[in-house]
Amino acid sequence: MTAPTGGFSEIAFSEPTREMHGFHSQVMQRRCFIGFSSISFFIVGAGIVMPAWVAFDVGGSNLVGLVLLASSLAGFALAPLSGHLVDRHNHLRVTASGQLVRALGLLMLAPVQVLPDALSRPILLLSTVLGAFGYALLAGAMSGILQSLIPETERMRFNLRLSFFNQAGMALGTGAAGYGIAHVGSATTAALFAFVAISVLPLLRNLTAYPTRTHAAKRLNLFSASREAINYLVNEPQTLSASVSVGLVFAVIQITNLLLPGFVSHSLGGGSRLFGTLEMTAAIAGMAALAAAGIPAVARRMARMTTPLVAAAAGSLLVLSFATDPLVAIVLYGAAGMLWNLSRAAANGHLLTVVDSALIGRVQAFTSLLTGAVGALIFLLPTLLPNTTEAQLYMACGVMILVATALLALWTRRGRPART
């Protein structure tokens, strides 16, 4: 007699096995996503150090300023195009394309120092533009992938965890770039980082199972798609508030980075050692805060605290402006580093939770435009207000961002009843 097929025993064991296989597949996809993202931020860290060092070696501080300006302007000008491409095409393909564009930008740095000025400077600027465009493509496309991989209720916790690994990757990238330049030269280092950027592309193959759908943006041109995104933001107070919150957090970070050297010198009476200690303290405290925030119970509370965290980050500027003792400043700056990292991760996580996945690229582009516009204004502050001290600028900016956060919260709360 042959054993019966099918029946209760097959059903009882096949269904749990199928569910277990699906669970392991989800875990693998999430790990691959975190791995690819953290290595991408490793390349971001290299992109902070490499162009600036090469530019300084070729043309001094003036060329460094020109390179930074070109990066900022490229990010601002190309944001609408990158957002439209993200929403129009498959996110995995756009992610791979963005990574390849960044790799090409890094590779173009390799011959800059041995070329004549007539070629080296244009190539350096083009490399910077490619880096900015590649990053814009990656940011939008990977946000779309994250939305598809992670259920809405889990996105805040996942983004907090992801932010920790991204921060670690960026820190390692900056250190590795500096070490590489010192020991093997900038040309070899640029080529190595370009190779690393390309070598992690196979990780994307493990994400091919994530659900995709045809986006409505395929039927629209660039201007129509941008107009659709603007109408969406105007009619969705929660999404607009989340996008502006991301811009406000970046404004706090930009203000701090701009004014800190002068604040250390004029208000604290310190030098480069104190400056480095402050930055190191903020980085370590920020990563510790992100690690703690990844705990599920903490992450659930963070999901309801985005606005208070943004306000606290702005308030840290106000408190820091009163510091005159180096030890007090180190403690305050460490606390501020925790708030900056938590508020940035929470704001990004909230944005990924409330925005329609069909418009994620264009909403991210709007956030980039807002961040670029605010950054341009911030970078002009020392020029526009030459007789104002760094402490006074910290205080004024902290108050303005606090007021903006409060007004944004009131406007969002007022707009909620309309969404039924």
Average pLDDT, integer, range 147-171: 88
- Let me know: does 178 contact 50? Beta carbons within 8 Å: no
Percent of the chain at pLDDT exceeding 90: 25
The pLDDT tens digits of the residues spanning 174-221 come to 888 888 888 898 899 999 999 999 999 999 988 865 555 545 555 667
Helices then strands, counting H and E runs in the chain, come out as 14, 0
So what's the pLDDT on residue 192?
95
What does the alpha-carbon distance between residue 316 and residue 59 come to, in Å, rounded to a whole number? 37
Quickly state the pLDDT bin for 273 (edges 50, 70, 90): confident
What does the alpha-carbon distance between residue 25 and residue 308 come to, in Å, rounded to a whole number? 36
DSSP letters of 37-74?
A: HHHHHHHHHHHHHHHHHHHHHHHHHHHHHHHHHHHHHH
Nearest C-alpha neighbor of 335 from the set 357, 350, 318, 348: 318
So what's the pLDDT on residue 13?
43
Query: Above 50 in pLDDT, residue 419?
Result: no
Nearest C-alpha neighbor of 250 from the set 44, 39, 65, 401: 401
Query: Above 80 in pLDDT, residue 4?
Result: no
Quickly state the pLDDT bin for 299 (edges 50, 70, 90): confident
**Candidate from 164-173, 290-299, 393-402 with smallest mean pLDDT:** 290-299
Average pLDDT, integer, range 390-394: 89
- Let me know: does 86 contact 229? Beta carbons within 8 Å: no
What does the alpha-carbon distance between residue 339 and residue 353 come to, in Å, rounded to a whole number? 21
Average pLDDT, integer, range 242-257: 84
Q: How far is CA 374 from CA 129, 175, 238, 346, 377, in A?
A: 20, 28, 21, 20, 5
The pLDDT tens digits of the residues spanning 33-67 come to 999 999 999 999 888 888 888 888 888 877 877 88
So what's the pLDDT on residue 5?
45
Average pLDDT of the chain is 83
Q: Is the pTM of this model over 0.95?
A: no
Amino acid sitting at position 249: V
The pLDDT tens digits of the residues spanning 126-135 come to 999 999 999 9
What does the alpha-carbon distance between residue 100 and residue 80 come to, in Å, rounded to a whole number? 20
